[in-house]
A and B are shown apart, each in its own frame.
Chain A
Amino acid sequence: MTLALLVTLLTLTVLKATPIIFAALGGTISERSGVVNIGLEGMMAAGAFGAVYATSATGNPVVGVIAGILAGAFFGFVLGVAATRLKVDQIVAGTGINLLCIGGAAYALVVLFHQQGSSPQVASLGTADVWLIVLAFALAIALHAFLWLTPWGLRLRAIGENPRAVLAAGIDPLRVRMLAVTISGALAGLGGAFLSVGELNIYSDGMTAGRGFIALAAVIFGRWTPLGATLAALCFGFFEALQFILQGRVAWLPSDAMQALPYVAAVIALAGATGRVRAPESDGVPF
């Protein structure tokens, strides 16, 4: 392998991993607080669409990124309210949000841009998207430190394990969960915005292409820690990048097998997680 190829492989790995890292960090913080966020894929689509719409309206992709974060946060908030105050089942609400966001973006393309399928091209961050990549890794470290080194991180994790005990300590677990899920949505939205106005300059139907679900797999493969999820996302990014590069060079490698890899890895991680590391005790359990 030549040096140039190696450089391409590594940059592509990071590029492929970045949106997944954002969403996976969101998934981690949400699950640590005890809410499974199945809606990551939809929130990414909302972020991607919101970013393109705001960029098209203002001409400024930075405004677009902020709008993407807000769009994701809004649907995170909706899931948070549904899962905490309304006691709606998290999975049901998350599934609903996926349908809502992906269908909603397709519908909004018609209403706002008067065209189906994809948006017009808008301004993009261009090479400045590298700052978002840096941000992804910085956030991973910051979130890891937050969860394990600060008293608030400890409380968040405690809520995911045993919300009753935290309630006894005078903290409202529902409020913390709602906040965590909203942040989770914001991060997924940021991942979507990275795709649509960071790496690209367009929204098109189906552009998130399952990245939100891969992020969910990364959360598990990364054993519910921010650095673990980041490493898992990099892993998945690496295999996709490898597939891109090997394609056409290695005939025997079916691309379907490569595409299934993250999910197979997640299932194996689910099986292997017993005894050593496990999901937060109250993950997915309403309080």
Chain B
Amino acid sequence: MLRARTFAATAMLSFLMAACGHHVGPRPGQLSLGMVTDVGGLGDRSFNDSAYRGLLRARDQLGAYVEVLQSRSAADYQPNIEALTNQRVDMTFAIGFLMSTDLDQIARNHPDRHYAIIDAVVDDPNVVSVTFREQDGSFLAGALAAMMSTTKHIAFLGGEDVPLLRKFEAGYTAGAHEVDPSVTVDVKYVGSFDDVAAGQELGNVLYNGGADIIFAAAGTAGLGAINAAKSRSGAYVIGVDSDQDALAPGKILTSMVKHVDVAVFDVARGMQQHRPIAGHLTLGLSDDAIGLTNFTFTRTAIGAARLRRLSAIRRAIIAGKIVPPDTREALAAWKPVAL
């Protein structure tokens, strides 16, 4: 009993001491940036981590004070954004389309504060909406896969079957058909962004089904598909979001990189230069926010001819000659464009 009381007393003491501790916060005049992750949280080696890199770059290059709040459930989004708002950070980044409803409400209640949201459009004068033309980068990935496939059979592996992932799926399929309309594109979804084993198993199912290249847009579960490619000769996989090429050198054809970090940093820089960006930013190939990696390990395997054709396609997308579809409906109506 005595021991229990000492235990409680020590705990209480440290608690009280803590209560008198110093509060950390931005210095006067320092740019302060807040970020709310979605339920994937930091460490997803993908979306949230990429946004965090942009924030850290703002800290290092712009001298900004940064604060990150992670969300455990959808119910955490609103309080997290509110908390940063109440700390009067100069700009709060909401990372993920699921936060759009909550951000819209908060932004209307605080017209004097600035916000940014990634992957969704929130129509308020004090919100910057950043979306990416994932279909453009995926289109290039599909085109490359179709050129490289020896079986004329490629595949797409998504995490969860949600509209955002269908942008990848539609762009990839159209890109393949741009190169060769006879290429077969198998499509499967893991049903989770976490289940690495299922990612690997589905990767094997797709390879066994005849596909020799898989575009794995499945978060952590995609690491399983990369594993599946490793043990097969003649098989490639395409990574996603971050540059994953070094995870399996030579086996990862390229990664379809989505530079959330670039977007976060650019918006932060705008804030610092007292010209906050508002409205809707759609970032794509020409902004270097979306694109393929520079083929460090696969350049020779791909060859100069294919790379030339790929950059022709890239220029055609930027010029608006090719408009990659971003939904299954748009894909069904889409026709290859003669270049």
The residues of A with any CB-CB pair to B shorter than 8 Å are 4-5, 8, 12, 15-16, 19, 109, 115-118, 121, 126, 195, 199-202, 204-207, 209, 241, 244-245, 247-248, 255, 259
Give the complex CA separation of A209 and B191 in angstroms.
11
B44 at the A interface (CB under 8 A): yes
* Given contacts A200-B196, A204-B196, A116 and B42 within 8 Å (CB-CB): yes
| Contact between chains at B202 and A244 (CB < 8 Å) | yes
Give residues 177-212 of B contacting A (CB, 8 Å). 186-189, 191-192, 194-198, 200-202, 204-205, 208-209
A196 to chain B, nearest CB (A): 9
| Contact between chains at B202 and A109 (CB < 8 Å) | no
Partner-binding segment picked from B16-24, B96-104, B219-227, B276-284? B219-227
Give the complex CA separation of A69 and B96 in angstroms.
39
| Contact between chains at B223 and A204 (CB < 8 Å) | yes
B43 at the A interface (CB under 8 A): yes
A119 to chain B, nearest CB (A): 10
B283 to chain A, nearest CB (A): 25
* Given contacts A4-B208, A248-B186, A117 and B43 within 8 Å (CB-CB): yes
| Contact between chains at B220 and A117 (CB < 8 Å) | yes
| Contact between chains at B188 and A248 (CB < 8 Å) | yes
Please name the 4 residue pairs, one residue from A and one from B, whose CB atoms are nearest each other, closest first: A116-B43, A117-B43, A206-B194, A209-B195
| Contact between chains at A15 and B43 (CB < 8 Å) | no
Contact residues in A for B42 (Cβ distance below 8 Å): 116-117
Give the complex CA separation of A216 and B188 in angstroms.
28
| Contact between chains at A8 and B227 (CB < 8 Å) | no
| Contact between chains at A259 and B43 (CB < 8 Å) | no
| Contact between chains at B41 and A209 (CB < 8 Å) | no
Q: Which of A12, A206, A207, A255 contacts B191 (CB 8 A)?
A: A255
B312 at the A interface (CB under 8 A): no
A7 to chain B, nearest CB (A): 8
A32 to chain B, nearest CB (A): 28
Give the complex CA separation of A159 and B244 in angstroms.
54
| Contact between chains at B43 and A109 (CB < 8 Å) | yes
Give the complex CA separation of A5 and B208 in angstroms.
8
* Given contacts A117-B220, A118-B220, A200-B200, A245 and B205 within 8 Å (CB-CB): yes
CB<8 Å pairs between A and B, sample of 30: A5-B209, A8-B204, A8-B205, A12-B201, A12-B204, A19-B197, A109-B43, A115-B43, A118-B45, A118-B220, A195-B197, A199-B197, A200-B196, A200-B197, A200-B200, A204-B194, A204-B196, A205-B43, A206-B194, A206-B195, A207-B194, A209-B194, A209-B197, A209-B198, A241-B201, A244-B202, A244-B205, A248-B186, A248-B187, A255-B161
Give the complex CA separation of A195 and B195 in angstroms.
10
Give residues 239-255 of B contacting A (CB, 8 Å). 247
| Contact between chains at A247 and B201 (CB < 8 Å) | no
Q: Tell me the nearest residue of chain A to B205, going by C-beta.
A: A244
Q: Which of A15, A207, A245 contacts B196 (CB 8 A)?
A: A207
A120 to chain B, nearest CB (A): 10
Q: Tell me the nearest residue of chain A to B223, going by C-beta.
A: A202
A235 to chain B, nearest CB (A): 17
| Contact between chains at B227 and A200 (CB < 8 Å) | yes
A262 to chain B, nearest CB (A): 14
Q: Tell me the nearest residue of chain A to B210, going by C-beta.
A: A4
Q: Tell me the nearest residue of chain A to B187, going by C-beta.
A: A248
Q: Tell me the nearest residue of chain A to B231, going by C-beta.
A: A126
Contact residues in B for A12 (Cβ distance below 8 Å): 201, 204-205
A118-B43, A205-B43, A247-B189 known, 20 other contacts, Cβ within 8 Å? A4-B208, A8-B209, A109-B43, A116-B41, A117-B43, A117-B45, A117-B49, A118-B220, A118-B223, A121-B247, A199-B197, A200-B224, A201-B227, A204-B194, A207-B194, A244-B201, A244-B205, A248-B186, A255-B161, A259-B191
A8 to chain B, nearest CB (A): 5
Contact bitstring B297-310, A, C-beta under 8 A = 1, else 0: 00000000000000
Q: Tell me the nearest residue of chain A to B198, going by C-beta.
A: A209
Contact residues in B for A126 (Cβ distance below 8 Å): 231
B197 to chain A, nearest CB (A): 5
Give the complex CA separation of A200 and B208 in angstroms.
18
A225 to chain B, nearest CB (A): 26
B56 to chain A, nearest CB (A): 14
| Contact between chains at B220 and A204 (CB < 8 Å) | yes
B212 to chain A, nearest CB (A): 15
Contact residues in B for A205 (Cβ distance below 8 Å): 43, 194
